[in-house]
Amino acid sequence: MLHASARALKYFSALGICATIAVGTLYVTKSAAQTDNKVQSQAQSDASPIYGITIPAGYRDWRLISVNHLAGGNVKQLRAQLGNDIAIKALREGTLPFPDGTVIAALHWNETSLDENDRVLATGFPDAGLQSFVAGSAVNVQFMVKDSKKYAATGGWGFADFTNGKPGDEALHKTCFPCHVPAKGRDYVFAHYAPTP
């Protein structure tokens, strides 16, 4: 049994959001079987179980949806949600349900502190009791991909969860959709678009 906090690291990541780009099908022809099997095996190992989603190229360049903070027990994470162009347009215009092609990425990091920040707080605001934490080491990244036909059984969304570039197992991916059900009223997306200051 997984420790509750460890489970939370995975599952509740879904709050940041969960799912990926539906690029590259895994279909392989039967000619040149050996080579194809190798390609297929490689492709499968890089794709999420159930949904067959791989990490979308260049997702780190997508625009910011929002940020969040998850804490409790041993879990202290900083998180950001990024969206592809379709996602950002839909969020800004309040379009529900999200259009097919929407992809939302949830990036999760362990919190850490920085000496420079601590020095500013200690000298500039000695009585304020302030603490600063920044994004440290990467924990995982998750994707939600909207394809209302392909993923009809899960609210039109495919999900993917990667740690160090590798997808989690099938048991993990079975938890994605149920976790998102409380956000059904927003087409299963937890993240709200953060206002522009």
Q: How far from chain centre, in Å, is Cα 73?
A: 22
Residue with Cβ nearer its own copies (16 or 156): 16
With CB under 8 A as the contact rule, the residue among 25, 33, 35, 73 that binds its own copies is 73
With CB under 8 A as the contact rule, the residue among 46, 75, 100, 101 that binds its own copies is 75
Which tokens sit at 45?
A: 């190992």
The answer to the question of residue 66 lying near its own copies (CB under 8 A) is yes
Residue with Cβ nearer its own copies (23 or 32): 23
Residue with Cβ nearer its own copies (146 or 180): 180
With CB under 8 A as the contact rule, the residue among 49, 176, 179, 187 that binds its own copies is 179
61: nearest Cα among 84, 37, 42: 84
The answer to the question of residue 12 lying near its own copies (CB under 8 A) is yes
The residue to which tokens 């690291």 are assigned: 9
Q: What are the CA-CA distances from residue 190 to residues 65, 114, 134 (Å)?
A: 11, 30, 22
The answer to the question of residue 119 lying near its own copies (CB under 8 A) is yes
The answer to the question of residue 111 lying near its own copies (CB under 8 A) is yes
The answer to the question of residue 89 lying near its own copies (CB under 8 A) is no
Least gap, CB of 95 to its own copies (angstroms): 18
Which tokens sit at 44?
A: 């499968």
d(CA 121, CA 20): 39
The residue to which tokens 């492709």 are assigned: 43
Which tokens sit at 70?
A: 């998850």
CA angle 84, 17, 3 (to 5 degrees): 150
Task: Say if CB 106 and CB 79 are below 8 A apart.
Answer: yes
Binding site for its own copies (CB under 8 A): 4-5, 7-8, 11-12, 14-15, 60-61, 63-64, 66-73, 75, 78-80, 82, 107-109, 111, 114, 116-117, 119-121, 124-125, 127-135, 137-141, 162-163, 179, 182-183, 186, 190-192, 194-197
